[in-house]
């Protein structure tokens, strides 16, 4: 097996447009996927659920996370575990954009397009 180290700054990656006020990039390891999200003040929240456990880490700004029937105001340094199949969404509080790092393990196949910049760094299959 060939071990290849990956290095990139998230600011150097082309951001994927998700919807008005929401953009993201991705980075992966063998079994873990990181997705950095930029959430802008006034963005429309997108309630959703998925079969993946998710850990959200707030890097910048403040967001109100709605997870099932609970609500959390999360600022820089806050970490939130979102269980699989639980409806959740975030909304920006204040005028500062939110940088929200999501961690998924195992890797979400539906997000593999976000890590194409790492093609060749892993033995697939």
pLDDT in tens, 60-112: 999 999 999 999 999 999 999 999 999 999 999 999 999 999 999 999 999 99
Q: Which residues of 7-30 are buried (b: 16+ CB within 10 A; e: fewer)?
A: eeebeebeeeeeeebbbbbbbbee
Query: Is 70 exceeded by the pLDDT of residue 2?
Result: no
Render pLDDT for 13-69 as a digit per residue (tens, 0 to 9).
999 999 999 999 999 999 999 999 999 999 999 999 999 999 999 999 999 999 999
DSSP helix/strand/coil, 57? strand
Assign domain 12-110 to its CATH architecture: Sandwich (2.60)
User: Could you tell me the residue ranges of all domains in the chain?
Assistant: 12-110
């Amino acid at each position: 097996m060939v071990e290849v180290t990956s290095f990139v700054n998230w600011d150097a990656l082309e951001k994927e447009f998700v919807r008005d006020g929401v953009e993201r990039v991705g980075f992966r390891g063998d079994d873990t996927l990181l997705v950095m999200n930029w959430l802008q003040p006034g963005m429309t929240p997108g309630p959703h659920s998925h079969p993946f456990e998710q850990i959200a880490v707030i890097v910048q700004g403040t967001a109100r996370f709605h997870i099932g029937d609970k609500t959390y105001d999360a600022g820089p340094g806050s970490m939130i575990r979102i269980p699989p199949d639980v409806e959740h969404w975030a909304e920006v509080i204040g005028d500062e954009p939110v940088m929200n790092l999501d961690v998924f393990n195992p890797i979400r196949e539906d997000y593999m397009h976000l890590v194409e910049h790492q093609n060749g760094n892993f033995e697939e299959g």
